[in-house]
Structure 1
């Protein structure tokens, strides 16, 4: 209540209880009071004495009314001073101050925690994050409840009133103390809830800390890619495919500029990473493009030269086949019959692909040019192997026909080396090792037997001895692996 309003009202009350005075201090009779009749029965001296006495009494009352506003209230309410009354008022005020402090602390903590919740929801949409939001909302409802109780208690009691009764002050102290206790209790719940948010908040803050640098790196990568592409074009290379890839990133850049508030932090981080990778890829390819063009030019020249050389070498296969037919059994050369014709076919296909690669290079279709050159290389490799196989076959057959013992001893040495390793540190070999080695020995003996006769199949003999040596090598590798694991 307003102190000035109280004072004004108390002055009005005082005026209704105090009679007006004359300058001599006598009471001025009020109209219609009937004082004249009573005055007429008294002597003049008695009347004077009564007037003097009343004047002495009325003067302090009038002074008190002026000096102590609110001394009397309507209905005769009594004002209290000092002693226990002031102590109760002070206790009530202290309870009010404590409740106000608790309210301020709770409000501040709620505001701070709301920022944490907003940080989490901006980053995390997991069930755990959604539960945190629901729990915070439930806490908010309890905070509103105790806050309303506090505000009601404060509004219900004006502790600054001059006519505050001691019982009212005591009741105010109790209500305000309860409001403070409720505020403190809910503040404790809020603090415990805040502690439980630690892992979620830490993850969210980490992602938010990554957000701005990630977006900036993506923007810088796009700028670098654009600069590299401009440089390449200035050198006369179109790089249309790279330009198309860079243009496809424009919508992604727009979304990055719109920010995480519209698209979400996780999505923005993912987008920034994708833009970064794509832009860096475009930049790297643009920077390599001049070198790539030069490399394609070199490969075109090299593969043309190689195709021409293979055409010449393919012409030497027929004389080799003729000698094979004349000196060795049919089984030694039948699989080589198609080599000359296939070589010519492969070379023609290679030359056609070379023309296609050259056209793609002129049109700056780099991927197509590279693909065609890879096909050319594969065709020429296959042709080279086939042409070389005919000459190698004749050389090996000549060697074994002249001295088969060299091949036999080489194969037996491989078997004995594997057998010694299998027996090392053992009295009997492991059946897993002994069986394939015994089979290899028998296979070698059968191969040697095929050399007897008028037209031995030397190619079959060479194939068998090669496979026997491969068997011995597998056993050796198996033994060493097993002993290596056992060490």
Structure 2
């Protein structure tokens, strides 16, 4: 619909007061033309705009008016036209605002709920196109500025325009409700968008800090080649961060920023600890070498201990210790070889290898130390029990009696599950004591038996406490 000499431009604008459909959706050409008319009006100087708008929406102009029923019907039709134009404008504005919300959500969220929201919005777009088409058709079908406008024609125009207005308003209400339902999705999307810039900046600063720490370490004479390689591997990630979320998406960019931050901080922390790690490695090398030398000396002392065990006690008391000197010497040699490898790894600044080798050396020396100590401990315990076996018996009986008192606490008769193993423990102790009678008593068997009896009594005590604790 175009302006004619008999139809003022302002009236034409008022008839089609609406906005252009957002780019990317097929809209009605007439809606776009109508919005261009409105924009043309908005670009007028303010004094002229103030003078034009009342006339535009009131249907003013230079035509001649005739009184009576016809003019009243024309005025009602014009009012209906103005109301429909306002409803059209409100709906188009709401659709444009909601499109921004949908674009925000889909830029951040790829969940089923977000995809469903986008699809629902597109469906609303089709409905908006339908009601807009009805409105534009109603506007173009009736020229309310004609001098010979009949009352019946005006009434029909009013009815059609009012119906179009009501339909536009109803769709806008539904669109508003749909927009309100997007609140949680929109809040989540806006939160992620708000995180985006700070997250990327933190990742960049972390990379800078890691690089600075690595330079400082290298300046102290440490190569830190593995850390340099890990930092270099983050360069492509930084490039993608610089390319932005527009290319890689908001969720992926946030994940990448978090990953770069985490990896860069790990490199920085390890670089800062590297001088201390080097010093600790040097201390462990010296300490373990000293310990290996001490074990070599102690290993040589095992043989005299074994000689005394052989001379004073039965074979069963020392047979399992026969190969301790040989095994200890082999373990110390292995430890010394591993120490040499650890020293080489440290000189080459292969810190993980050096740490692993030192752990192996420590394990070897620990096991050797236990084996070497076992021979001396065995002789000491056998000497004590040979001198006074009753002390071991009393110690064991005390443990059994303590378990028996606990089993009888709050009871007239003990629970068979507790009494039976305790009775067995008493009998086992008596048999162990009886085994010492004779010319060559097996004191080591006696010691292992009393230790086993104490273990059995301790298990009964644990069982009773667990049962009573569970019942409480």
TM-score (ref. length: structure 1): 0.82
> Residues 3 and 161 of structure 1 are in contact (CA less than 8 Å); yes or no, is this contact kept in structure 2?
no
Q: Does 1:106 align with 2:107?
A: no
1:307 to 276, 289, 292: 292
**1:210 matched residue in structure 2:** 195
Q: 1:415 to 1:153 in 2, by over 3 A?
A: same
> Residues 256 and 271 of structure 1 are in contact (CA less than 8 Å); yes or no, is this contact kept in structure 2?
yes
Q: Does 1:342 align with 2:343?
A: no
**1:122 matched residue in structure 2:** 107
Q: Does 1:325 align with 2:326?
A: no
In the aligned structure 1, how far is the partner of 2:7 from the partner of 2:434?
A: 137
> Residues 350 and 380 of structure 1 are in contact (CA less than 8 Å); yes or no, is this contact kept in structure 2?
yes
> Residues 232 and 239 of structure 1 are in contact (CA less than 8 Å); yes or no, is this contact kept in structure 2?
yes
**1:429 matched residue in structure 2:** 414
Report 1:41-80 matches (<5 A).
Answer: none
In the aligned structure 1, how far is the partner of 2:341 from the partner of 2:158?
A: 98
In the aligned structure 2, how far is the partner of 1:447 from the partner of 1:196?
A: 82
Q: 1:431 to 1:252 in 2, by over 3 A?
A: farther
In the aligned structure 1, how far is the partner of 2:313 from the partner of 2:277?
A: 50
2:429 to 444, 454, 473: 444
2:252 to 267, 276, 286: 267
Where in structure 1 are there 5+ consecutive unaligned residues? 8-68, 71-78
Secondary structure, in 3 states, of the residue corresponding to 1:425? coil
Where in structure 2 are there 5+ consecutive unaligned residues? 9-61
**1:404 matched residue in structure 2:** 389
Q: CA deviation at 1:435?
A: 2.4
Q: Does 1:158 align with 2:143?
A: yes
**What is the alpha-carbon root mean square deviation over aligned residues?**
1.8
Task: Identify the range of structure 1 (343-352 vs 189-198) with the bigger mean alpha-carbon deviation.
Answer: 189-198
Q: CA deviation at 1:5?
A: 5.1
In the aligned structure 2, how far is the partner of 1:383 from the partner of 1:443?
A: 34
**1:4 matched residue in structure 2:** 5
Q: 1:222 to 1:162 in 2, by over 3 A?
A: same
Secondary structure, in 3 states, of the residue corresponding to 2:439? coil
**1:137 matched residue in structure 2:** 122
> Residues 331 and 368 of structure 2 are in contact (CA less than 8 Å); yes or no, is this contact kept in structure 1?
yes
Task: Identify the range of structure 1 (393-402 vs 271-280) with the bigger mean alpha-carbon deviation.
Answer: 271-280
Q: Does 1:388 align with 2:389?
A: no
Q: CA deviation at 1:113?
A: 1.3
TM-score (ref. length: structure 2): 0.85
Q: Does 1:195 align with 2:180?
A: yes
In the aligned structure 1, how far is the partner of 2:104 from the partner of 2:383?
A: 83
Counting matched residue pairs gives 418
State the Cα deviation string for residues 317-376 of structure 1 (Å, max 9, x = none): 000000000111111111111110111111111111111111111111111111111111
